Amino acid sequence: MKKNPFLICGIAFFFSAFPFSFPGAGAPLEDPFRLEESLARELSAAARRGVRHLASLQKQNGAFSDDPDSDRRIAALIGAFAGEEEDLKTALRNHRPPEGTARTGKKSAPDPESEGCRELFELVRALRKAEKGPLFPKRFRAWRRDAAERLLETQNAEGAWGNARGTFYALCAIRLIFLI
């Protein structure tokens, strides 16, 4: 079999002229699930403001909430975000759970002020679970960016998303957005 020099030159030209035509050739493809750097920094700063807001709710007795379940969750969330933040570590050292027992068996009443944040958290949780599946729609790939932008839009000047429960759900959603 004789080699055709025109065919070889044509193939070489094709690959050199169009290096981005095939996956794996040329520059690495961006991960569609990652946030842009600037948006990630903004969301991280918003999370720090939110955690500081929750820490500012600490009462004289050391509790963050009168409800033992909520108090335990808020303390765990502050601990997850504390890192090297000395004021947050101090809040955790001063933490004392409220008197009373957890879980009375009754379901807490719906809280209209925090409902939107709870629903966003549930949506983020469902999208994270489905995003790596083969049937995940391409048009939903920007869900992290969309959720991050919505959270940034709805945070108030004090760093909260409504009340303490809404802020808790918003911060949980942020944690899930950053997990890849």
Domain ranges across the chain: 33-98+112-178
Q: Which tens digit of pLDDT belongs to each residue from 136-163?
A: 888 888 899 999 999 999 999 999 999 9
pTM: 0.75
Of 66-80, 89-103, 130-144, which gets the smallest average pLDDT? Answer: 89-103
Q: What is the 3-state secondary structure (H, E, C) of the chain?
A: CCCCHHHHHHHHHHHHHCCCCCCCCCCCCCCCCCCCHHHHHHHHHHHHHHHHHHHHCCCCCCCCCCCHHHHHHHHHHHHHHHCCCHHHHHHHHCCCCCCCCCCCCCCCCCCHHHHHHHHHHHHHHHHHHHCCCCCCCHHHCCHHHHHHHHHHHHCCCCCCCCCHHHHHHHHHHHHHHHCC
The answer to whether residue 94 scores a pLDDT higher than 60 is yes
